[in-house]
């Protein structure tokens, strides 16, 4: 069995901002700040004022503005913090202002991309259509960027602190909880009352800005504001459950272990290095073999060897690194005045295939695939007695726009077959639609699968619906077999498939549900939708009105009740 990777390792997406968000008259908002919509902080209710009992951890919609903790007092600003903040304001104003829409907070954080400024304790939700099936007992959790502080300078969507939005389902009832992932970066900046650690995607735009921010960063470290050894990254991209642990993941740091409590609350356990075996960072998209329990991952970095492949066995023990030697010059991107992450159109894209138990990179085979730019792989499996690999993945047609102009990008899902003997690579499109953020039944990961559930870009990252694809159809056929559009002004997120009965080995591959969050920009409210995966129209079997807005985000995961009990 081989593992498939791409020589282009960009793992998330860049937004086309939404410029307006209309709300119903009952919505409570602060005034716009630089055209960015933010929610009003919930009023603080003091139980001593009415001599009532202490607040419980669960709230109904009638008192949903209540909070379970004291008011968040802004930390007293020290002289050092005030001085560094002033220097940073000078950099943001005169040296490196947010000159491009992709790093301008007025655009990036507009509409439902705006952050929610407070966490939400477990709060009861209203089921407004149908009923929640027993198969969904557990929790659907979605990760995404939600900056703790409104940006004072350049800001890219990828730079926000991670916030988890978890809908906990039990016996047909649901609660929603939204909590920040308490990374080292989050805690340091909360303590200082201001951003301290520079943003990766928006903080180093050209030589002058890089030198200025680099010098300020060095001074912050020397002054003891933070220790980069403890991590400087985010956990805002995805979630993964393996080794009987639940992790919040980002590409720029180690995984952060989190857990769900019996009440549906979310707790951050801490940064996790697997007993000192995992260094620096790892991909936000590890793959777990459902049959062996092994998890396969990689990391990339700005220093040699640039790319490293590794795996975890079924007990959670990390195995040795397999360095993959690559050529990269990150300074080229910095000197050209852009983000340190980007694409080089002068090079031909390659797919790398490596045995899952490879001892070193001499076993890696590279295949040039002109014009094929993969970001989110959907599935891959062996064929022809292991002499061929089939890959299902969206091809980003204009990769150079991924970080800057997502509205110009078109993702075409393709079926790629790599003959490991002859080196011949054949490709054909599965659908002409603009599709990404696609998933399958997780039980079929790494083996031949038939159905794909993909988000429809309108354009990305606004998602107007979901389609079901049958990849077993002929090479020249449109593989779309079902579709659900969310309606005017309604946009969703990445879909996720939940099997009706995960323990039934004879169940059909599409016997289950597709779930996602959807936001109605006209009514100003968010919902959780449950769709019948076998229905030709992906019929909605349950809709849950959420107690407050859930901003657009990245990747999600369903964790069944039995796995929650292991945390």
SS3 content of the chain, % helix, strand, coil (to 5): 15, 35, 50
310 token code pair = 């590794």
* Calpha distance 367→384 (Å, rounded): 18
* Calpha distance 209→193 (Å, rounded): 23
pLDDT of residue 364: 96
pLDDT of residue 19: 29
**Which residue from 232, 204, 237, 234 is spatially nearest to 220, judged by alpha carbons?**
232
Q: What does the pLDDT profile of the chain (567 residues) look like in tens digits? A: 554 443 333 333 333 333 233 333 333 333 333 334 444 444 333 333 333 333 333 333 333 333 333 334 456 678 999 999 999 999 999 999 998 888 999 999 999 999 999 999 999 999 999 999 999 999 999 999 999 999 999 999 999 999 999 999 999 999 999 999 999 999 999 999 999 999 988 888 778 888 999 999 999 999 999 999 999 999 999 999 999 999 999 999 999 999 999 999 999 999 999 999 998 899 999 999 999 999 999 998 888 889 999 999 999 999 999 999 876 666 665 556 556 667 778 889 999 999 999 999 999 999 999 999 998 999 999 999 999 999 999 998 877 777 777 777 889 999 999 999 999 999 999 998 999 999 999 999 999 999 999 999 987 789 999 999 999 987 767 899 999 999 999 999 999 999 999 989 899 999 999 999 999 999 999 999 999 999 999 999 999 999 999 999 999 999 999 999 999
pLDDT of residue 328: 62
* Calpha distance 110→369 (Å, rounded): 37
> Is residue 111 a contact partner of residue 123, using CB atoms and an 8 Å limit?
no
Report domain extents, the chain.
77-565
37 secondary structure, DSSP code: -
pLDDT of residue 76: 65
Task: List all residues 6 or more positions away from 104 whose beta carbon is below 8 Å from its beta carbon.
Answer: 98, 154, 155
> Is residue 185 a contact partner of residue 199, using CB atoms and an 8 Å limit?
no
* Calpha distance 430→561 (Å, rounded): 35
The pairing of beta strand 162-170 with beta strand 173-180: antiparallel
Q: Is 285 annotated as a binding residue?
A: yes
Q: In what order do the strands lie in the sheet with 120-124?
A: 120-124, 173-180, 162-170, 138-145, 556-560
pLDDT of residue 17: 33
Give the up-direction half-sphere exposure of residue 196: CA atoms within 13 A in the CB hemisphere: 27
**Cα–Cα–Cα angle for 546, 552, 556, nearest 5°?**
80
pLDDT of residue 337: 56
pLDDT of residue 422: 97
Burial class (CB in 10 A: 0-12, 13-18, 19+), 178: buried
Q: Is the dihedral of CA 261, 264, 269, 275 positive or negative?
A: positive
**Which residue from 456, 461, 459 is spatially nearest to 486, judged by alpha carbons?**
456
DSSP E strands, 107-222: 120-124, 126-130, 138-145, 162-170, 173-180
521 token code pair = 């920009």
């Amino acid at each position: 069995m081989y593992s498939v990777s791409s020589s282009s390792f960009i793992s998330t997406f860049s937004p086309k901002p939404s410029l307006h968000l209309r709300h119903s008259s009952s919505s409570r908002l602060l005034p716009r700040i630089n055209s960015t919509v933010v929610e009003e902080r919930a009023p603080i209710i003091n139980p001593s004022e009415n001599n009532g009992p202490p607040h419980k951890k669960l709230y109904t919609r009638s008192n949903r503005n209540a909070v379970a903790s004291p008011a968040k007092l802004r930390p007293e600003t020290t002289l050092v913090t005030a001085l560094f903040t002033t220097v940073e304001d000078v950099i943001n104003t005169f040296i490196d202002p947010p000159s491009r829409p992709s790093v301008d907070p007025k655009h990036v954080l507009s509409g439902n991309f705006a952050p929610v400024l407070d966490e939400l304790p477990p709060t009861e939700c209203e089921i407004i259509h149908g009923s929640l099936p027993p198969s969904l007992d557990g929790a659907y959790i979605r990760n995404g960027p939600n900056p703790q502080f409104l940006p004072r300078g350049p800001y890219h969507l990828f730079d926000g602190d991670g916030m988890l939005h978890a809908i906990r389902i039990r016996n047909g009832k649901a609660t929603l909880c939204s909590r920040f992932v308490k990374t080292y970066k989050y805690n340091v900046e909360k303590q200082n009352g201001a951003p301290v650690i520079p943003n990766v995607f928006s903080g180093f735009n050209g030589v002058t800005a890089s030198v200025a921010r680099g010098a300020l960063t060095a001074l912050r470290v020397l002054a003891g504001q933070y220790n980069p050894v403890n991590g400087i990254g985010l956990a805002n991209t995805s979630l993964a459950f393996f080794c009987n642990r639940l992790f919040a993941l980002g590409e720029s740091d180690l995984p952060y272990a989190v857990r769900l409590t019996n009440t549906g609350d979310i707790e951050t356990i801490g940064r996790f290095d697997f007993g000192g075996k995992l260094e620096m960072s790892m991909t936000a998209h590890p793959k777990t073999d459902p049959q062996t329990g092994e998890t396969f991952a990689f990391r990339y970095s700005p220093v040699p060897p640039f790319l490293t492949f590794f795996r975890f066995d079924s007990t959670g023990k990390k195995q040795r690194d397999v360095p993959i030697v690559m050529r990269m010059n990150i300074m080229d991107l910095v000197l050209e005045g852009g983000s340190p992450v980007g694409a080089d159109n002068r090079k031909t894209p390659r797919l790398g295939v490596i045995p899952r138990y490879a001892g070193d990179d001499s076993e890696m085979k590279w295949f040039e695939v002109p014009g094929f730019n993969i970001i989110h792989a959907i599935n891959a499996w062996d064929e022809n007695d292991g002499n061929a690999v089939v890959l299902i993945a969206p091809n980003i047609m204009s990769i150079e726009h991924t970080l800057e102009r997502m509205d110009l990008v078109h993702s075409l899902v393709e079926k790629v077959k790599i003959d490991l003997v002859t080196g011949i690579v054949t490709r054909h499109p599965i659908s002409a639609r603009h599709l990404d953020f696609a998933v399958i039944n997780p039980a079929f990961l790494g083996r031949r699968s038939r159905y794909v559930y993909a988000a429809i870009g309108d354009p990305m990252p606004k998602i107007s619906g979901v389609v079901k694809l049958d990849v077993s159809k002929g090479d020249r056929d449109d593989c779309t077999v079902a579709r659900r559009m969310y309606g005017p002004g309604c946009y969703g997120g990445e879909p996720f498939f939940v099997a009706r009965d995960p323990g039934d080995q004879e169940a059909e591959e599409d016997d289950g549900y597709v779930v996602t969050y959807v936001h109605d920009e006209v009514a100003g409210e968010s919902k959780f939708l449950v769709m019948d995966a076998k229905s030709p129209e992906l019929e909605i079997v349950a809709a849950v009105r959420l107690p407050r807005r859930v901003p657009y985000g990245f990747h999600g995961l369903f964790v069944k009740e039995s796995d929650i009990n292991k945390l």
